[in-house]
Amino acid sequence: MYVAILGYGTVGAGVFDVLMKNKNIIAKRVGFPLDIKYVLDLRDFPGDPVEPYLTHDFRQIIEDPEVEIIVEVMGGIHPAYEFTKEALETGRSVCTSNKELVAVHGAEFVEIARSRKINFLFEASVGGGIPVIRQLIRSITADEVEEVCGILNGTTNYMMTMMRETGASFEDALKDAQAKGFAERNPAADIEGHDACRKIAILTSLAYARQVDYEDIYTEGIVGITDIDVLYAKAMKHGIKLLGRSYLKDGLVYAIVAPYMIRKKNPLYPVNGVYNAIMVRGNMLGDVVCYGMGAGKLPTASAVVSDVIDAAKHRHVNIPILWEREKMVLGARDDIENKFFVRVPIAEAAKAREIFPIAKEISILECESSEFAFVTQVMTEKEFREKAANLTVINRIRYEI
């Protein structure tokens, strides 16, 4: 059975490596060998093992009837969308790591795959090597999903870990992440939360079998987090993590991406560095947390290849994925409930105590003469906003309930 890989970037090269290095074990699991026939890339790679497989022309791939599985690891929407659609419509299963493509067009591709008795699979689009998509759609099937909550972006988790461990400023942590290759030169997608937002949109769509548009999810990145916030978190023995969350309440699904202060006993607390972790809460199961390398060449490639193996084992059989194209209307952002960690000038302490129902007060040496900091009781986003409008808020971070 022949496979073509679209894109020889980091993940594409990883997929090439995994298919080559684990060839025998994969053949045993599939029942027959999987061979790479083409790798599409605009560049040449003289001397690279990929050379004999390289083509610059997608038509060569799509017109070769021997190609039954296409791996799309180019990223971006165009031409990934057109290539994927044509591949599916000509009866090829497609496996992708492209979260943007999946978040926007997943439901459409799932539908085409169903109608053609092939497969559109996207395990690697969320959580890199962590098999969270299969967990949601194939393991946690006896439960109503009450909540999905995860550390879905390794770059920002690396930065938050560094700020925590070294006291670095946000800017220094970002520079370090860029120097180590974890953050892009333009880091907006990571630090503004857009990457995590696409991922929680995909997970929420799968948990509730309906299209969730990522534009509808309130998203706040880590750009507002300072080293002073981290000092407060340390003083409380808490961590600050960028979370993607969605939960079901009274028949409505709410979703948000934002930094949260979490307690030491939260299972996501010890997840540091470029690791990702995802908690799924079922109404029968309780919490299941999965944790692993959320990015990186080989972990992501391993997840892509596990999909290739599934596609090969289900040659003319569609693996059912419930994901209707009809859009789900999310619960209003204003109604999302949180506690809040809040910092105001010390002169406003009395006023803050009057306005907010306060769960606890915190003081750190560095700011004890200048700031009043506290954690509120649980309140809605709207209530918080209205109350906070009466104060000079230095910063506020959501705080796990």
Q: Which residues bind its own copies (CB under 8 A)?
A: 14, 17-18, 21-22, 25-26, 28-29, 31, 123, 129-131, 134-135, 138-144, 209, 267, 269-270, 282-293, 296, 298-299, 301-306, 308-310, 313, 317, 320, 322
CB of 7 to its own copies, least distance (A): 18
List alpha helices for 273-366, DSSP H.
297-313, 349-355
Closest CA to 152 of 30, 267, 37, 291: 291
Side chain identity at 400, as an amino acid letter?
Answer: E
Q: Residue 207 has which token pair?
A: 């948990």
Catalytic residue flag (residue 265): no
Q: Which residue bears the tokens 């770059």?
A: 155
d(CA 351, CA 235): 24
Alpha helices, H only, 90-153 = 99-116, 132-134
123 or 400: whose CB is closer to its own copies? 123
- Distant-in-sequence, close-in-space partners of 367: CB < 8 Å, separation ≥ 6: 228, 231, 343, 373
Tokens, residue 334: 């204003």
The nearer residue to its own copies, 28 or 385, going by C-beta atoms, is 28
Q: What's the min distance (Å) between Cβ of 278 and its own copies?
A: 10
Return the SS3 of 194.
helix
What is the rounded end-to-end Cα distance, in angstroms, of the chain?
Answer: 51
Q: Which of 37, 99, 199, 241 is catalytic?
A: 199
Minimum CB separation of residue 2 from its own copies in Å reads: 17
Residue 293 CB, shortest distance to its own copies, in Å, is 5
Residue 236 or 322 with smaller CB distance to its own copies: 322
Q: CB-wise, 22 or 363, nearer to its own copies?
A: 22
Task: Give the pairing type, strands 54-55 and 35-40.
Answer: parallel
Nearer to its own copies, 24 or 369 (CB): 24
- The residues annotated as belonging to the active site are 199
